[in-house]
Amino acid sequence: MPLDFRVVGRDPGTRARLGRAQTDHGPFDTPAFMPVGTRASVKGMTPADLALAGARIVLANAFHLALRPGEQRVRELGGLHGFMAWPGPILTDSGGYQVFSLGGNVRIFDDRVVFRSPVDGTAVEIGPARAMEIQRALGADLVMAFDQCGSFPMERDEADLCVRRTLRWARISRDAPLDPHQAVLGIVQGGIHLDLRAECARQLVEMDFPAYAVGGLMVGEPQAEAMKVLAATLPSLPEDRLRYLMGVGLPEDIVLAVARGIDLFDCVIPTRHARNNHAFTSEGVLNLKNARFKDDRGPLDPQCPCYACRTFTRAYLAHLARENELLAPVLLTAHNVTFYQRLMQRIRETIAAGTFGELVADQRPPGTVSGE
């Protein structure tokens, strides 16, 4: 079995689970967070930096890599693991989200989507068969079914159509040839329509995927709506399979989703925030361009073991940020990824210790930014 997943502990007060996943490229403990390496690089971090930050699995994007440098080139260069020199587990997104987030100019057919390439404007076709072909060539351990990613708001009719397409494409994705080390995840869609979500989950479970994902959440709807969807969806998924919440999110979103039974996350927030000079810290999110940091001799986060926190003052990091020095996004990215990995470690430790409920109770309202 390409993905061996075991639930090894449970929180008594919530649906949070402690898990251990094993792939041909090594294990990772869950709940886990995947830094996003869209183009086979987590922006500004080397594989050594990622390992030091505590990341054990990373995400890359099949759609972007198929456009450039091309999936066959990646395959010939040793697959994604060899290409990006990341020996651990990798998950590739299928491209569904990217195709639909391109917005206009997307024509949807039963078996494929046609759109203009953002690279050169030529017409590009992608569908479940092609998405799986790309992902097979890239060689990630976990690959995603090709889905139609919903948006918010999405009327019931539209959501229903989205679910039906997603299910049709899920079956094609599941039956597509993959390499022996690869496992494909089915994706639950359905917007915030709870019955559609439950029905989508039920039908995917009938197809018996090795693991499942929840897509099209945190795309604009209130956090509470997203959590209702998780509560309505996850009980339909088998307890012994890994569950991945795509594209989420802020630390508080992650804690609440873990409490509802999610095992795996990815999000651009830690890395993108870093490039905008925002640092996640034990005091909240700090904007390093804020004037109050100009003379701050303290470390960025006294609780953080990352290189920036051990080496520099906030004043120096604020100087780098103001001067748009290359080192600012580099240091802040490593810091934010470290912060997220430490959050996941704390989640796992509290689940193991039976104190995860306290972590849930501690969550700040979403999006709180200090230092503005």
CB of 313 to its own copies, least distance (A): 6
Smallest gap, in angstroms, from Cβ of residue 136 to its own copies? 20
Of 52 and 161, which CB lies nearer to its own copies in the complex structure? 52
Catalytic one of 49, 93, 147, 253: 93
Report the nearest approach of its own copies to the CB of residue 27 (Å): 22
Instruction: Spell out the SS3 assignment of the chain.
Output: CCCEEEEEEECCCCCCEEEEEEECCEEEEECEEECECCCCCCCCCCHHHHHHHCCCCEEEEHHHHHHCCCHHHHHHCCHHHHHCCCCCCEEEECCHHHHHHCCCCCEECCCCEEEECCCCCCEEEECHHHHHHHHHHHCCCEEECCCCCCCCCCCHHHHHHHHHHHHHHHHHHHHCCCCCCCEEEEEECCCCCHHHHHHHHHHHHHHCCCEEEECCCCCCCCHHHHHHHHHHHHHHCCCCCEEEECCCCCHHHHHHHHHCCCCEEECCHHHHHHHCCEEEECCEEEECCCHHHCCCCCCCCCCCCCHHHHHCCHHHHHHHHHCCCCHHHHHHHHHHHHHHHHHHHHHHHHHHHCCHHHHHHCCCCCCCEECC
**Nearest-angstrom CA–CA distance, 221 and 343:** 24
Minimum distance from CB of 54 to its own copies (Å)? 19
Q: What minimum distance in Å lies between the beta carbon of 331 and its own copies?
A: 7
Tell me how far, at minimum, the Cβ of 24 lies from its own copies, in Å.
21
Taking each helix axis from N to C end, the angle separating 223-233 and 194-207, rounded to the nearest 10 degrees, works out to 40
Contact 50, 337 (CB under 8 A): yes
Nearer to its own copies, 2 or 69 (CB): 69
Starting at the earlier edge strand, list the strands of the sheet with 242-245.
Answer: 32-34, 264-266, 242-245, 211-214, 183-188, 142-144, 90-93, 58-61
Residue number, 15 or 319, with CB nearest to its own copies? 319
Q: Which stretch binds its own copies (CB under 8 A): 176-184, 237-245, 292-300, 353-361?
A: 292-300
Among 31, 44, 88, 215, binds its own copies (CB under 8 A): 44
157-176 residues in contact with its own copies (CB under 8 A) are none
Which string of x and - marks every residue 22-41 that binds its own copies (by CB under 8 A)? -----------------xxx
Whether 266 is catalytic: yes
Residue 55 lies near its own copies (rule: CB under 8 A)? no
Question: 168 or 319: whose CB is closer to its own copies?
Answer: 319
Strand partners, 4: 22
Site for its own copies (CB under 8 A): which residue of 2, 9, 13, 47? 47
Quick note: the x/- pattern for its own copies over 57-96, rule CB under 8 A, is -----------xx---x--xx-----xxx-----------
Nearer to its own copies, 213 or 318 (CB): 318
Give the tokens for residue 333.
Answer: 């990215």
Chain positions 187 to 246 lying near its own copies, rule: CB under 8 A, are: none
Query: Looking at beta carbons only, is 222 or 298 nearer to its own copies?
Result: 298
| Catalytic annotation, pick one of 141, 147, 266, 301 | 266
Stretch 251-290: interaction string toward its own copies, x if CB under 8 A: ------------------------x---------------
**Residues between 307 and 366 with contacts to its own copies, criterion CB under 8 A:** 307, 311-313, 315-316, 319-320, 322-323, 325-327, 329-331, 333
Q: How many residues form the binding site for its own copies (CB under 8 A)?
A: 38
Can you tell me the distance from the alpha carbon of 182 to that of 10, in angstroms, rounded to the nearest whole number? 27
Residue among 294, 302, 354, 358 that touches its own copies (CB under 8 A) = 294
Footprint of its own copies on this chain (CB under 8 A)?
39-41, 43-48, 68-69, 73, 76-77, 83-85, 275, 294-295, 297, 307, 311-313, 315-316, 319-320, 322-323, 325-327, 329-331, 333
Active site residues: 93, 266
